[in-house]
Structure 1
Amino acid sequence: MTETACQDGRDHYEVTGGGPVLLVLPGGAGHPMGLGPLVERLATRFTVVTYDPLGLAHGRLGLPVAEQRVAVWSEGAHRVLEAVLPKGEPAYVFGTSSGGIAVLDLLARHPGRLAHVVAHEPPCVTVLPDGVERRAELIGRLDGPGRPPAEGESATPMGVFLARILHPFTRYAPAAVPAGVPLTLAAGADSHGHVLYRTAEFLAERLGGAFTELPGGHLGTLEHPVEFADRLAESLLSGARSPS
């Protein structure tokens, strides 16, 4: 198992493991902090490509960041796939939280070489019938007083997320899913009864995708990395589209 860090001036990502390509988009501001155990487990079955949309883990934390757009993240993810995918091979894709929103947009824009997409608790709550109220509650809960800095020496990924990502990403409404690409919406087993569990269930029905539970809550990737990775791998490989 080898590990490499790659960048081409715009796109920052790391590659580890062996097997079919699995693109991972972290949540929050896209910084893959804490995902090491999950990636290590997944890398026993996949070539894991961890995309860092803002390059925060690659020396850019603290630099100015503009308000983010979902399409910019998904187009960056597409460029990364174009760079790493062997000819004729489809990719598996997993995104959690804000990364889950980005993979839904990737699926809508570039479905051609995607074998199976799993979006875990994407916070695009405006799709709900009471989405305006739920979004206001979500933002109010997360973006209260005491926000950490988004720029400068004291900048944190959470500060970047709250200042530049939370508001635009939670306004996103996924487009219809192209026919023929398996999509699974996932929620944490411990999130039952919470708004993001309800959002994932609603999106699965609206977009015609499957729904599954994964271990833990919204941060299940960090709370139960081994169990989460094993259950995610089962979900990705089940019903995946074959190479064309």
Structure 2
Amino acid sequence: MNNTLKVSEAELYYEVRGSGPLLVLVGAPMDADAFAPLAELLASDYTVLTTDPRGVKRSKLEPGGTSRPEQRADDLAALIRYVDAGPAVVLGSSGGAVSALALAQGHPDVVRTVIAHEPPLDRLLPDADELLAQSEKLMADYLAGDVTGAWKQFFALANIQLPDEVVEMMFGGERDPEQEATERFWFGHEMRESISWVPDVDRLREVDVVVGIGEESTGQLCDRTSTALAAELGVEPTRYPGDHTGFVDHPEAFAKALRAQLAEAGFRPSV
């Protein structure tokens, strides 16, 4: 089922598949389409909710709106309450992991477990100020029109090894206008808000939080931030297939690992 829900300053696009306990898959800026293959694999046992975050693709935002983690958390809480199948296990990846953590802090009643897959919580690191300065530069460069230059800086900062010619092929020349609009919104209204967010660790310790890291993400920036979060919470990180986008690149393996994680947490399909 595809539908929309009106919330404060936005209209959210969302999709619901399957039946059973509620599982939410969310990114930022990744939209619902990125999670579709994984959602299809899990829909045989779970009610799977996916969504475009506010301001991205089919989720419309009022002029002048922004995308702070607290706003995205309110959006997720509204969706969970609207579909009326919670409390939910929420798997958020990247900026969506920040959204999920903010949801656990602000709306613990709608959450059973949060799986925070590689949240970019730069403020937890000792070099946070330097990271923010580099991020501010690449965001400014992108918004000034240096698209490939900004992406090269981004991947270097994230310690993701991509040759310059690959970046130029991915982000140069004629591109999909919808994808460009998503990127521009992210660099202008979402990235800073996500990487600058500071979790309330004491409140998160009151919720079941799993910190996920890709098996192939070792040494990357989000490996560092996720490891720092796990240390703050006093939990061991859980390794998932692939790297930062393992759920996209290896949906079958990721689904298998996620099912095992859910079973371990006692979140089993209805029979």
Per the normalisation by structure 1, the TM-score is: 0.84
Task: Give % identity.
Answer: 29
**The residue matched to 2:109 in structure 1 has which SS?**
coil
Distance 1:38 1:241, change over 3 A: closer
Instruction: Give me the whole-angstrom Cα distance separating, in 2, the residues matched to 1:197 and 1:14.
Output: 30
The equivalent residue for 1:78 is: 77
Q: After superposition, where does 1:137-216 map in structure 2 within 5 Å?
A: 137=134, 144=142, 145-146=146-147, 155-176=180-201, 177-216=203-242
1:53-102 deviation per Cα after TM superposition (whole angstroms, max 9, x unaligned): 226343749x856332111000110111111233xx52111100110000
Name which of structure 1's ranges 195-204 and 137-146 shifts more when overlaid on structure 2.
137-146
Q: Which runs of 5 or more structure 2 residues have no equivalent in the other structure? A: 151-170, 172-176
TM-score normalised over the length of structure 2 = 0.76
Q: Could you say what the CA RMSD is over the residues aligned between the two structures, in angstroms?
A: 2.7
Q: After superposition, where does 1:81-120 map in structure 2 within 5 Å?
A: 81-86=80-85, 89-120=86-117
Tell me by how many angstroms 1:6 deviates: 2.1
Instruction: Quote how far apart the aligned CAs of 1:222 are.
Output: 1.2
Structure 2 CA distance for partners of 1:159 and 1:20, relative to 1, 3 Å:
same
Letter in 2 for 1:109: G
Residues 64-73 or 41-50, more deviating: 64-73
Specify whether residues 164 and 113 from structure 1 end up closer, same or farther in structure 2 by C-alpha distance, changes over 3 A only.
Answer: closer
* Residues 106-155 of structure 1 deviation map (CA, whole Å, 9 limit, x = unaligned): 0111112422110111111111122222334456567652268xxx8784
Q: 1:51 — aligned with what? A: 51
Alpha carbons 1:118, 1:236 under 8 Å: kept: no
How many pairs are equivalent? 232
The secondary structure found in structure 1 opposite 2:6 is coil
| Structure (1/2) with the larger helix percentage | 2
Alpha-carbon distance change, 27 to 225 in structure 1, aligned in 2, over 3 angstroms: farther
Q: For residue 35 of structure 1, give the secondary structure of its aligned residue in structure 2.
A: helix
Kindly state the Cα deviation for residue 172 of structure 1 after the two structures are TM-superposed. 0.3
Q: 1:52 to 1:211 in 2, by over 3 A?
A: same
2:248 equivalent in structure 1: 222
Q: Which residue of 1 aligns with 2:41?
A: 41
1:218 Cα deviation from its structure 2 partner: 0.9
Larger radius of gyration: 2
Q: Give the structure 1 partner of residue 161 of structure 2.
A: none
Alignment partner, residue 157 of structure 2: none
Give the CA deviation at 1:179. 4.9
203 and 224 in structure 1: CA distance in 2 versus 1, 3 angstrom threshold? same
Partner of 1:7: 4
In structure 1, how many angstroms separate the alpha carbons of the residues matched to 2:206 and 2:258? 20
Q: Residue 45 of structure 1 aligns to a residue in which SS?
A: coil
CA separation in 1, counterparts of 2:267 and 2:235?
14
Flag the 1:225–1:201 CA change in 2: closer, same or farther, 3 A.
Answer: same
Query: What is the match of residue 162 of structure 2?
Result: none
Structure 1: segments with no counterpart, 5+ residues? none
TM superposition shift of 1:199:
0.9
